Amino acid sequence: MAEPTLWTTIAQEIEKDISAQIFRSGTKLPSESEFAHRFGVNRHTVRKALAHLADKDLVWSKRGAGVFVTGVKSSYRLTQRVRFSETIRASGRHPSRDILGVSLQAASPDQARVLGLGDGALVHIFHGVSKIDGHPVALFQSAFDATKFPDLGTHLQEMRSVTQALKACGVDDYKRTSTEITAVVADPVQANHLRIKPGDPLLRTKSINSDLEGRPIERGLTFFTADKVQLVHNDDMSSN
């Protein structure tokens, strides 16, 4: 790849502006003629570049209307090191979080089993909405052993970051040891949080994060809006 033809460099230029949110998701791009003038090339060259971006599902065109930026799918790589904020920032977008609650609850059977806890043990529940550039993309819920990390709740409240809060509790690093993926349709409550319609598809992941010795630390449950997110395994993310 990476032959420096006119149209490839133009395509890369436009792609950069899309991922930098200069051309925002869903908005109309400048016209082909305008691009042609701006880059000092023929309109056909611009068309070739845009066609390539359309192949990659970055833009779509409508005859007589213009070329529009496709709803960008953020790619989450399935690796041992899964960090929401880093992943998003690396793609030039701005991550944020709405925290819906930090609470102390009795562990669910699933949480207890995964974290190796007894019946009725207490867990810190951290749940909220993950956003990219202000748009909600995922509902997350994390469970931590409250006995093992007594102060984690207050730390989570203050720092609003799992990685930071765990560090304050003596966990310098952790890794993703398991991710189970399936699909569901959004119920009204989920749809409301994610600003989608009930019945829209969601990616559901159940994950386990463990310390470096392999002991489970966190049980996560996340619902991604499928129209804005895709999970990627072993990829260079070339189509993003």
- Indicate left, alpha or beta for 159 from its phi (over 0: left) and psi (-120 to 50: alpha): alpha
Q: Is 181 in the site for a second copy (CB under 8 A)?
A: yes
Shortest Cβ 236–a second copy spacing (Å):
8
Shortest Cβ 168–a second copy spacing (Å):
27
Q: Is 113 in the site for a second copy (CB under 8 A)?
A: yes
User: Exactly one of 87, 142, 179, 209 binds a second copy (CB under 8 A); which one?
Assistant: 179
Please spell the DSSP secondary structure of 3-42, one letter per residue: ---HHHHHHHHHHHHHHTTSS-TTPBPPPHHHHHHHHTS-
> Which residues 187-216 are close enough to bind a second copy by CB under 8 A?
199-203
> Which residues 124-163 are close enough to bind a second copy by CB under 8 A?
none
Measured from the CB atom, the residue of 7 and 144 that comes closer to DNA is 7
Measured from the CB atom, the residue of 66 and 232 that comes closer to DNA is 66
Tell me how long the chain is: 240
The residues that bridge with 42 in the sheet, in sequence order, are none
Going by C-alpha positions, the residue among 110, 183, 107 that lies closest to residue 146 is 107
Shortest Cβ 160–a second copy spacing (Å):
27
Helix (H, G, I), strand (E, B) or coil at 75: strand
Instruction: Say which entry of DNA, a second copy, none residue 73 contacts (CB below 5 to 8 A, set by partner kind).
Output: a second copy
> Which residues 59-98 are close enough to bind DNA by CB under 7 A?
61-67
End-to-end, the C-alpha distance of the chain in Å comes to 16
Q: Is 17 in the site for a second copy (CB under 8 A)?
A: no
- What the block records as the tokens of 85 is 């904020």
User: Residues with Cβ < 8 Å from 194, sequence gap 6 or more?
Assistant: 129, 136, 137, 138, 139, 186, 202, 223, 225
List the x/- string, 34-53, binding to DNA by CB under 7 A: x-----xxxxxx-xx-x---
Residue type for position 166? L
User: Exactly one of 73, 131, 193, 219 binds a second copy (CB under 8 A); which one?
Assistant: 73
Going by C-alpha positions, the residue among 48, 55, 42 that lies closest to residue 7 is 48
Q: Is 230 in the site for a second copy (CB under 8 A)?
A: yes
Residues that bind DNA (CB under 7 A): 3, 5-8, 29, 31-34, 40-45, 47-48, 50, 61-67, 118-119
Q: Where does this chain bind a second copy (CB under 8 A)?
A: 51, 54-57, 73, 75, 78, 80, 109-110, 112-113, 176-185, 199-203, 224, 226, 229-236, 239
